[in-house]
C-alpha cells in the first residue's frame, strides 16, 4: 500500500466553481469576490494512502479542506499509545487559524487530495470578510458535537457497540455525501484497517476483529473481502450501537 501506488493526478488548480465540495466546505458561504481571494492563495496537494500529511508538533503554515479521500487525526502518548481524535472526510477542514504548529498527526488513510490555503493570507481573508469565519464556526461546532458523541462512545460503550457505531457512522456520512438516506439494506466500504479502527475506538486490533466476526455471526453485517460490508437492516445495526433510535443529530 505504501509504495505500489503511482503518484495521483496533480490537480494543480481546479476552479472553485467546479469544486465537488464547494457547497459544504469552509468556502460554502463565500460570495464571488471572496472566492476570488481564496482562489489566489489556494493550491492543491495530493497524498498517497499511508502518507503522513503533518506530524504533531511540526510547523504548519497552511490550513486545508479535504477534497477527496480520507484522513485521520491522531494523538500519541509518550509510550506509544495512540488515539484517533478525528476522521476527515471530503469537505472537512484541517488546521487552526492562529496556531503555529500541528496539534495532531494527520495521516492519509486513502489517496487524498487537499485544497490548501497559506495560513497568513487565509487569516487575512477571515479578518476582512465575514463568510469564511461564519462557516468555520458552524463547522467547528459540528465537529465539537461529533467529538462529544465520540466521548460517549469511548467512555461508556461496549466493544460491540463501538464497532456497530463506527460502521453506522461511516455508512451515514458516506450516504450523506451522496445525498442519500441510510435505511434498510446499506452497503459500505470501510476506509480503515482494523488497526485504524482500533485506534479510533480505543480498543485493540484483536478485539475489533473479534467483534466484527461476532456481528457477522449474528447476521447484523455481511462481509465480502476485508473491507466491503453489507448491512441487511440498518436499523438493527443502529440498535446494536446503543444509540437513540433516531441516531443522526446532524444532516
Nearer of residues 86 and 90 to a copy of itself, judged by Cβ: 86
Beta-bridge mates of residue 115: 44, 65
Return phi, psi of residue 206, to 5°: -65, -45
Task: Answer for the pair 166, 201: CB distance below 8 angstroms, yes or no.
Answer: yes
Residue 112 CA to residue 92 CA, distance in Å, equals 12
Judged by the rule CB under 8 A, the positions of this chain that interact with a copy of itself are 73, 75, 77-79, 81-83, 85-86, 96, 98, 103-104, 130, 133-134, 136-138, 140-141, 143-145, 147-152, 154-156, 201-202, 242-244, 249
Q: Does 194 bind DNA (CB under 7 A)?
A: yes
Residue 12 CA to residue 138 CA, distance in Å, equals 28
Q: Does 154 bind DNA (CB under 7 A)?
A: no
Residue 70 CA to residue 113 CA, distance in Å, equals 9
Say which entry of DNA, a copy of itself, none residue 174 contacts (CB below 5 to 8 A, set by partner kind). Answer: none
Say which entry of DNA, a copy of itself, none residue 151 contacts (CB below 5 to 8 A, set by partner kind). Answer: a copy of itself
C-alpha cell at 220: 447484523
Say which entry of DNA, a copy of itself, none residue 205 contacts (CB below 5 to 8 A, set by partner kind). Answer: DNA
**Shortest distance, position 188 Cβ to DNA, whole Å:** 14
Q: Does 51 bind DNA (CB under 7 A)?
A: no
Residue 159 CA to residue 82 CA, distance in Å, equals 17
C-alpha cell at 235: 436499523
**Which chain residues interact with DNA by CB under 7 A?**
1, 4, 158-160, 193-195, 202-210, 212-213, 223, 225-227
Amino acid at each position: 500500500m505504501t509504495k505500489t501506488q503511482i503518484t495521483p493526478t496533480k490537480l494543480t488548480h481546479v476552479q472553485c466553481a467546479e469544486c465537488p465540495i464547494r457547497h459544504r466546505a469552509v468556502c460554502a458561504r463565500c460570495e464571488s469576490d471572496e472566492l476570488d481571494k481564496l482562489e489566489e492563495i489556494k493550491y492543491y496537494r495530493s497524498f498517497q494512502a499511508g502518507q503522513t500529511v503533518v506530524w504533531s508538533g511540526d510547523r504548519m503554515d497552511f490550513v486545508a479542506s479535504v477534497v477527496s479521500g480520507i484522513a485521520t487525526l491522531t494523538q500519541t502518548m509518550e509510550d506509544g499509545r495512540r488515539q484517533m481524535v478525528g476522521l476527515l472526510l471530503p469537505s472537512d477542514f484541517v488546521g487552526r487559524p492562529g496556531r503555529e504548529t500541528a496539534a495532531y498527526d494527520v495521516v492519509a488513510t486513502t489517496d487524498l487530495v487537499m485544497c490548501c490555503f497559506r495560513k497568513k493570507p487565509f487569516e487575512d481573508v477571515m479578518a476582512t470578510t465575514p463568510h469564511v469565519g461564519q462557516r468555520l464556526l458552524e463547522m467547528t461546532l459540528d465537529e465539537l458535537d461529533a467529538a462529544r458523541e465520540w466521548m460517549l462512545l469511548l467512555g461508556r460503550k461496549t466493544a460491540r457497540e463501538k464497532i456497530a457505531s463506527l460502521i453506522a457512522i461511516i455508512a451515514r456520512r458516506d450516504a450523506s455525501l451522496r445525498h442519500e438516506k441510510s435505511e434498510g439494506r446499506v452497503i459500505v466500504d470501510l476506509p480503515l484497517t482494523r488497526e485504524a479502527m482500533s485506534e479510533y475506538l480505543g480498543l485493540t486490533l484483536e478485539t475489533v476483529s473479534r467483534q466484527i466476526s461476532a456481528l457477522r455471526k449474528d447476521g447484523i453485517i455481511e462481509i465480502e473481502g476485508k473491507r466491503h460490508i453489507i448491512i441487511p437492516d440498518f436499523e438493527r445495526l443502529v440498535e446494536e450501537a446503543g444509540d437513540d433510535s433516531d441516531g443522526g443529530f446532524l444532516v
